[in-house]
Structure 1
Amino acid sequence: MKRRFPLQVHISTLFLILTLLVGGVIGGIGYKISQDILESTAAELSTRIHREMLGNFTGLLAPAEVATRLLGLNEITQQRTFEGRLSQLDFMRELLNSSSALTSLYVGYESGDFFLLRRVTEAAELKYFAAPAGTAYIVQSIERAEGGSSGRFIYFDAALVTLRSDTRPEYAAKFDPRNRDWYTAAMRASGQIKTPPYLFFTSGKPGTTIASRASKGGAVVGADIGLETLNQLLAAQKVTPGTHLVLSNAAGQVIAADDFSKALPTVGQAPEPLHLPNIRDLGVPVLAQFTSASFKLDEQAAQNGGLTLDGERWHTSIRPFKLEGTNPLFLVAAIPDQELMAPAHKLMHQLVFAMLLVILLAIPATLALARRISKELQQLVGEAESIRRFEFSHPIAVDSMVLEVNELAVTMGVMKRTIRRFLDISMAVASENNFSRLLPSLLRETISAAEAEAGILYLAENDRLVQAAAMKADGAPMLAESAALDPALAGPLLSSAIASGCARAGLLGEADLTALGVADASCLPGKNHAIAVPLLNRQHNLVGAMVLFRLSETDQARLRFIEALSGSSAVSIESKELIHAQKVLFESFIQMIAGAIDAKSPYTGGHCARVPELTKMLAKAACAESSGPYQDFQLDEEGWESVHVAAWLHDCGKVTTPEYVVDKATKLESLYDRIHEVRMRFEVLKRDAEIACLQAIAGGEPEAAARDRLSEQLAALDADFAFVATCNEGGEFMAPEKIERLKAIAGRTWRRTLDDRLGISHEEKARKERTPASALPVDEPLLADKPEHRFERGVRDQMPDDNRWGFRMPPPELLYNRGELHNLGVARGTLSDEERYKINEHIIQTIMMLTQLPFPKHLRQVPEIAGGHHEKMDGTGYPKRLRREEMSPVARMMAISDIFEALTAVDRPYKKGKKLSEAIRIMAMMKKEQHIDGELFDIFLRAGVYREYAERFMRAEQIDEVDIEAFVGAASN
């Protein structure tokens, strides 16, 4: 099958091919021209370098030549003594300093004497001459006489102050200037002579010597010139970083190079005699290709060439230059082709980049030209692709002169708007979790999709239509009666739509307006055109209806769209209504549990309802903080729901706590107050005393004495019982002497004649069988802790240390201990340790119960919030002994709320409700002891939460003035 491409592809491809062809030709020509120019430039650069080096070399020698001539005219050449020669030292210093290239000036006498002034500038020279610190000049002198010869080295600083003078006899024995080449050559020549470059013995660096005969006498003056600066000149003349420049003699010995340091010997370590390094000694492979034969071809003409070494191309040149009085030298240059041609390559790259840039800039222009030809079709293709990707941000705006294209654009535009509205409504419905906000939002979106001016939404409840929302297109409310409608009497248009189960469009008559509650038609926009839409769920049951008011008639396409949209809306309403109903059910279930807990005990009624309110007040105050540790604390809608649920369920574990433990008002109370049993025993003893009294009188004892004794016994029994009864109330602290008195009272006995194992439950009988039955009658203690009073803790009541909830609240040994002395001896209150644990255990049961519930993700924190209100900030609370940082902020808020409610509650059997100031003072102490969150307690006071709660839930006589400044910010150490 033949492949076809869009028109713009053909045009763009042709343009790109032409651009590439033209650009390639231009680039190739430009590269060739640049290459030729660079190669010719390389030869010119070599000539320039040769010329500059010649001038620099000449400039280097000129000052030295002048200094030598001046020294030859000086009287030092005629001095015969060391002192006379030393008197000219200042003059020689000035000559030496006239040129930086001069290293030393000296005079050789025909007698064999020698006088030299050397300038010392480098540490290596100081080390070589063993010169003292600060040495700037060294005088080397040899004096020969009939008695022998002597040599000396004198060291001077920069001001020619003598630092040290050394006698060097070996120097005089070893050195004779008359045997030196410069001396003999100068004596033969009529003018100045220049020695071929060589390495100085003292520094190991290349240099040359200029010498000439003195104007008078047979002395020869000389000057040593360092050629080291030529290395720097050559390095500065490098054409490219990889260029190599060498100045050599005809033998290939290197006088200077751009990197001459590798070939120089170390001062004092070089072999004698010193020799100039060969060009091969530089360690440069390309220079090693030059031999002595390379410098003998033509000393007058430049030699340009090239060579390839290890795959790299080099441009080479050898240019001779000759100085007066010296042998010819040669300047060798080697330039890597890659670096030399770098500008050409750069130019080529720039041409390629420019060509690509032209192409890139031309592509949009080409595409724009192509789009002008097929603009409308291309736009429609893009719009179709946008629809496929569900992108509806822009309307279709294609206005083509071609009829078919224009009709296609109109159809696609309608389709796009329809799909977009459908998706907008679906997203709006799906994203709204609040059912009360969902219904107006759904109506508003449907009004927009139908291009209506107003609308009314009804929900079906108990076979009636109840108005849920009524608004105009701008969101303003619409005036319509909200009375429930009978679907069959909802007006001709809406009733027929409901009966048929499909949307209907038409004009609203008087009957329609009356049934809908729109008595004043002036509130409707324009003519009374409308669309009636029944909302049916998946089972085709009526869940609601909508009436949409329009300015104009509705075509069938729009009606079908609204009908399709209504199906999605009905399903959404049904789903959201189910979710809403489940939330209402859950909320009612929560409050039912809380109400059952409060109803279980008449003394805690309202606790489970008041704590949520106080917790929300404190959470709201924390959210309003703009500074401090809670400035970033905020709760979203789901967070508030978690607080609400956790607060209502914070004591749900109390359903497992026995009522008689929660409501235990006296120490002996269980299912009933066992003080009555104790009282009956005292009654028995009193009857026994009366019987004993009567028996004594009958036996002949004087009646008065017997009755006095009886009175004393009865009074003692009454006093003992009153004491026991007072202990049972649990109002005061049980001092040790009271415990001892209880034990003394318990030591009294009463006689039981009936079997106490008859008519009891099998569980109580099993507890009594722990001890053998006593023979009747039996004397028993008035108060006792019997074995049957001990209720063992079963397996299900154990809490292992490694429990999966992390509880760290060790249980007491017994589940219950009903021992009479054990309970009457409770130090404070009415609860024994076992009963206290049973009450505290409610928080364990709360956590275990809530953990088992499959909370949705946003409520997963409910068990932690609800289960932490008995924890303390210092880790001494229960049941997990959490510290402050291990608790969520809301859990810490609930702890404060639970304590404050308990302190101020008036429905407790064991205490009175505290006054507001007293409760705040107690909680301030708890803050100081780090039992509650200090920062939250400050917010509790500062924001007035305590006052707001008091006005809503506390009695008027409890509300007094509180100086919160005394407690806000107080140290909590």
Structure 2
Amino acid sequence: MRELHPEQVAQRLDQLTELSVALGHGHDIATLLERIVTTAKNLTGADGGTLYRPSADRQSLDFHISINDSLGIHKGGVIGVPAVPLFDAAGQPNLASVAAYAAHSGRAVNIADVYRAGDFNFSAMRAFDRHYGYHSQSFLTVPMSDHEGGLIGVLQLINAKDPASGAICAFSPTDQRFIEALAAQAAVAITNQQLILQLEQLLEALVKLINIGIDEKSPHTGRHCQLVPQLTMMLAEAVHQCDSGPLAAFRMSEGDRKELWLAGLLHDCGKITTPVHVVDKASKLETIYDRIGLIDTRFEVLMRDAEIAALRQKLASPDGHAQIELRLAGQLAALAADRDFLRPANVGGEGMPAAEQERVRRIAHYRWVGPDGAERDFLDADELANLTIRFGTLTEAERQIINNHIAVTVRMLEALPWPRHLRNVAEYAGGHHERMDGKGYPRGLRKEQMSVPARLMAIADIFEALTAPDRPYKKGKLLSESLRILGNFSLNGHIDPDLFDIFIRAKVYLAFAGRHMDPRQIDAVDEARIPGYFP
């Protein structure tokens, strides 16, 4: 058995310290695990080392890393190597395998010569030796456990070498103590990384849970919440790849990407508080139902009353029936025309002309008798206000309710204790309704007050909304029309023209259209005719 000089002990302590520092700064578990095996080999002068990790169902130990200097083996996730079962066919702990025994007992196993040891089954090791022409002799097997005693892995070293002669020898008690210390440090580092990963997965799952809640209220909004982050990342990658122009310096790390993706998923989380009848208002008169049916009924009442009046006139005057019929036909035709006019007016659109708004006001002053026998205006104040909406289907009050979702989003996100690497989520998500000219909401920020991610999310949000085919209040626009509208937005201070240039030049719009747009919406696009874009 080897005896260590004080200088060798000091060297080992230095290596252990270096590993501790590396484990504290590492974020990639695969890299950490390889560093652990390599350092363990160097500390003990072992010829080989293997790291086992418990399987997903924790029924076996899987080979994760295997290194052997003499055989020139350096493999990660060894394919084809059988796993070590942790339990036998009867469900009892497998104590025949040294790795499984160490996993179950939580104790290190130090064997000087495996060919003379009768406590464990080394048939797999002997098969390995025969296959490779190798001779396994000394083994040091050390379990790795987390702070709750849960199994993290098993580290196994093979064939310690005497530094002077190179002869294979047993692992010393000092070797074992060093590797046990290393395994404890490594378990802490791996556990920390797993906890971080689990917290990130939990956070993303909670975000998806919020979006499920939104989707249940409004499937149209739910789809939007899934597609905006995808388009946001597509545009962000295009900007990242850009090497010229005003945005050439923009670069993203993997951490930046995670932060932006999360912000994209959360950009409309405030809509969970928005009433469904406002979010999904498909027509101007819709509340819980579309009130155009009530208007149709009133027209039927007016037509009925006109016919009754005509019949009474005929009874009162034996002559002039032809004129009465003619006058009645004119009244009925006028009422039918007004009814047929209000139906499409109720749908909403890009802009209602002033003449049509005035016609609605004229119709509103018709008089009719309701079920209670009282005479009243044909349209009440709320119906008149809705039917004269110039753009879309929302009144100004309803638009304020919709707009409030972003203020709620900001309040929700700013109330969360974000870790440092996610500190910008609220800013990115809360800025997608701001405008470059300061006329947006909720804070009226200008371009120079906004980050690049917040500005590019605004483009993704608008483009997805324009092309979405599932909105109850509009049809999905053609690709060319959507780009024309977006281009005009780049000219009038609504969106960032530099980002819009990359959106077109890198053909982000086309990649998104191919993945997510209805093929019937994807028409030919002449980029030279897109407003605000200069090929």
Q: Which has the higher contact order (CA 8 A, sep 6+)?
A: 2
Instruction: Name the structure 2 match of 1:548.
Output: 157
Partner of 2:370: 752
SS at match of 1:476: strand
Q: What SS does the corresponding residue of 2:110 show, helix, strand or coil?
A: strand
Q: 1-side partners of 2:420 and 2:318: how far apart?
A: 88
Distance, in Å, in 2 between the alignment partners of 1:928 and 1:939 is: 15
* Alignment: residue pair count: 509
Q: Partners in 2 of 1:937 and 1:606 — Cα distance?
A: 23
Distance 1:599 1:555, change over 3 A: same
Once the two structures are TM-superposed, the CA of residue 530 in structure 1 deviates from its matched residue by 2.9
**Residue 223 (structure 2) pairs with residue 606 (structure 1):** yes
CA shift at 1:882, angstroms?
1.4
Partner of 2:59: 464
Offset from partner CA, 1:33-82 (integer Å, 9 cap, x none): xxxxxxxxxxxxxxxxxxxxxxxxxxxxxxxxxxxxxxxxxxxxxxxxxx
Query: 2 CA distance for matches of 1:679 and 1:624?
Result: 57
For residue 220 of structure 2, give the secondary structure of its aligned residue in structure 1.
coil
Aligned residues of 1:543 and 1:570 also touching (Cα < 8 A): yes
Q: Distance in 1 between matches of 2:321 and 2:445?
A: 71
Q: Kindly tell me: are residues 675 and 917 of structure 1, through their superposed partners in 2, closer, same or farther at Cα, counting changes over 3 Å?
A: closer
Matches within 5 A, 1:267-286: none
1:720 aligns with 2:283: no
- The CA RMSD over aligned residues, in Å, is 3.3
In the alignment, what sits opposite 1:148?
A: none
1:968, 1:827 → 2: CA distance? Answer: 24
Q: Does 1:851 align with 2:414?
A: yes
CA shift at 1:584, angstroms? 0.7
Deviation at 1:784, TM superposition (A): 1.0
Counterparts of 1:734 and 1:479 in 2: how far apart (Å)? 68
Distance, in Å, in 2 between the alignment partners of 1:518 and 1:686 is 98
CA contact (8 A) 1:503 1:533 kept: yes
Cα shift at 1:669: 0.3
Note the C-alpha offset of 1:577. Answer: 1.7
Distance 1:568 1:630, change over 3 A: same
Deviation at 1:748? 2.3
1:820 corresponds to 2:420: no
More displaced 10-residue stretch of structure 1: 518-527 or 907-916 = 518-527
Partner of 2:164: none
Which structure shows the higher helix fraction? 2
Instruction: Indicate how the Cα distance of structure 1 residues 954 and 634 shifts in structure 2: closer, same or farther if over 3 A, else same.
Output: same
Cα distance in structure 2, aligned partners of 1:582 and 1:542: 19
**1:784 matched to 2:380:** yes
The structure where strand makes up a greater share of residues is 1
DSSP-derived class of the 1:457 partner: strand
Pair 1:539-2:148 in alignment: yes
Check if 1:639 corresponds to 2:256. yes
Partners of 1:872 and 1:884 within 8 A in 2: yes
* Cα distance, 1:582 vs structure 2: 1.0
2:446 matched residue in structure 1: 883
1:428 alignment partner in structure 2: 22
- Whether 1:455 and 2:455 are equivalent positions in the alignment is no
Tell me which residue corresponds to 1:564.
Answer: 181
1:486 to 86, 106, 111: 86
Q: Distance in 2 between matches of 1:861 and 1:604?
A: 23
Whether contact under 8 Å (1:525, 1:550) holds in the other structure is no
Q: Residue 651 in 1 paired to residue 263 in 2?
A: no
Q: How far apart, CA to CA, are the structure 1 residues paired with 2:296 and 2:427? A: 48
Note if contact 2:233-2:261 (Cα within 8 Å) is conserved in structure 1: yes
Match 1:497 to one of 89, 102, 111: 102
The aligned amino acid for 1:915 is L
Q: Percent sequence identity over matched residues?
A: 39
Query: Which residue in the other structure is 2:131 paired with?
Result: 522
Classify 1:520/1:905 alpha carbon distance in 2 versus 1 (closer, same or farther; 3 Å). Answer: farther
Distance change in 2, residues 1:736/1:614 (3 Å): closer
C-alpha deviations, 1:184-240, integer Å up to 9, x for none? xxxxxxxxxxxxxxxxxxxxxxxxxxxxxxxxxxxxxxxxxxxxxxxxxxxxxxxxx
Q: Aligned letter for 1:499?
A: H
Contact 1:595 1:608 in 2 (8 A): no
Which runs of structure 2 are paired with 1:370-385 in the superposition (5 Å)? none
Give the letter aligned to residue 380 of structure 2. A
Partner SS, residue 192 of structure 2: helix
Structure 1 partner of 2:399: 836
Equivalent pair of 1:443/1:457 in contact (CA under 8 Å): no
1:611 CA displacement? 1.8
CA deviations on 1:152-202 (whole Å, 9 max, x unpaired) are: xxxxxxxxxxxxxxxxxxxxxxxxxxxxxxxxxxxxxxxxxxxxxxxxxxx
Report the Cα distance in structure 1 between the residues aligned to 2:307 and 2:531, rounded to whole angstroms.
Answer: 67
Task: Name the aligned partner's letter for residue 75 of structure 2.
Answer: A
Q: 1:578 to 1:675 in 2, by over 3 A?
A: same
Q: Provide the C-alpha distance between the structure 2 equivalents of 1:694 and 1:966, rounded to a whole number of angstroms.
A: 62
> CA–CA distance in 1 between the matches of 2:406 and 2:134?
62
Contact 1:479/1:523, CA 8 A, preserved across alignment: no
Q: Judging changes above 3 Å, is the alpha-carbon distance between structure 1 residues 669 and 558 closer, same or farther for their aligned structure 2 residues?
A: same
Deviation, 1:558, is 1.0
Q: Does 1:664 align with 2:278?
A: no
Q: Check 1:679–1:844 CA distance in 2 against 1; reply closer, same or farther (3 A cut).
A: same
Residue 886 of structure 1, CA deviation = 0.8
- Distance across 1 between alignment mates of 2:315 and 2:130: 112
Distance (Å, rounded) in 1 between the aligned partners of 2:476 and 2:263: 25
Is the CA contact 2:49–2:155 (under 8 Å) kept in the aligned structure 1?
A: no
Give, as a single letter, the amino acid of the residue that structure 1 aligns with 2:355. E
**Residues 634/692 of structure 1: CA separation in 2 closer, same or farther (3 Å cut):** same
Residue in structure 1 matched with residue 75 of structure 2 by the alignment: 476
Q: Which of the two has higher C-alpha Rg? A: 1
Unaligned runs of 5+ in 2: 88-92, 161-167
* 1:568-587 equivalence runs, <5 A: 568-587=185-204
